[in-house]
Amino acid sequence: MLKPRALEAGSRVALVAPASPFTREAFDLGIAELTRLGLEPVYDASVFATEGGYLAGAAALRAEAFLRAWEDPAVSALLAVRGGYGSAHLLPLLPPARLRATPKLFVGYSDNTALLSFLTCQCGVTTLHGPMLDGRLAVGEAAYHRPSFEALIGGRVPLVLEPDALRVVRAGAFRGRLYGGNLSVLAASCGTPYACDPPPGCVLFLEEVNERPYRLDRLLTQLAQAGVLARAGALVFGEMRGCDEPSGAVRAHDVIARVAEGFSGPVLTGFPSGHTTGPAWSLPFGVDVTVEAVTAPRIIIEESPVG
């Protein structure tokens, strides 16, 4: 895996919009928070483009802005302003050789899973499943977990992550390279040249929002039948916010428990990264982590995502 350089005080972070548009208010609030963290946000006018009512500009425009920031030697990282939809449009327009030539840290989640997975699986560049501007940094520390974000962009490892909500579904311990992201986006990539393709012996993190239990079952079945789940030695699920039936008769946990019955390694649930009700914690993709599913469950980031 190629590792981008670590961020430090004054590092320039390019704000990119690979998916959906956003409000200027959220954008400005997010810039203020990045500045408060000691980083220097940079962007160009294309970030404010819109197309079709749900896209942040034409695919070519978004891809060109992404590559322009990626290849700028003064930029240390790229951070997505928002998820929504559209990141997959960029993948055919991003040459892996160019991305590998000047690796940068890309930060995002939700629909940006398409880019996170592409960069880690197809390009061999480490990434960060972390806060975007809209809805997270724009809100402040009530919406993102500052300690994990700052530690990982700065390369401060080993890092022990023990959120209170983390629960054991299947006991055990396993060490492997971490991959994953949003479940719907990963499932949608199956059958494409950009499919989620982690190596055997990996740790797989899966998170989702507002998908009913039967839909979670369908998405997980798709990953299982595509052979993705079989490559994992450990599974870590997110908070799965809004994924229980409204009546409470069937829960997301019930689906996860059924998956765990046929899985040989440890399984955790409730890790608050991505779509969370509280502060979203950051997770590095493409580096070694240890999953400890014991009395006090935790994830230990053994390797830094930045060099």
List active site positions.
Answer: 110, 207, 275
Phi-psi region of 140 (alpha: psi -120 to 50; beta: other; left: phi over 0): left
According to DSSP, residue 23 is labeled -
Which backbone phi and psi does 45 adopt, to 5 degrees?
Answer: -65, -25
What's the burial of 50, exposed, middle or buried (CB within 10 Å: 0-12/13-18/19+)? middle
Instruction: Return d(Cα 69, Cα 65) in angstroms, integer.
Output: 6
Measure the CA–CA gap between 120 and 232, rounded to whole angstroms. Answer: 15
Residue 153 and residue 128 in contact, taking contact as beta carbons nearer than 8 Å: yes
Are 11 and 39 a contacting pair, CB within 8 Å? yes
Instruction: Please give the torsion angle defined by the CA atoms of residues 33, 34, 38 and 41, in that order, rounded to the nearest 10 degrees.
Output: -140
Whole-angstrom distance, CA of residue 251 vs CA of residue 245: 6
**Best CA proximity match to 3, nearest among 244, 285, 193, 206:** 285
CA dihedral 131, 73, 18, 132 (to 10 degrees): 10
Phi first, then psi: give them for residue 93, nearest 5 degrees. -100, 5
As a whole number of angstroms, the distance between CA 55 and CA 19 comes to 6
Distance CA 229, CA 224 (A): 5
C-alpha 82/C-alpha 47 separation (Å) is 11
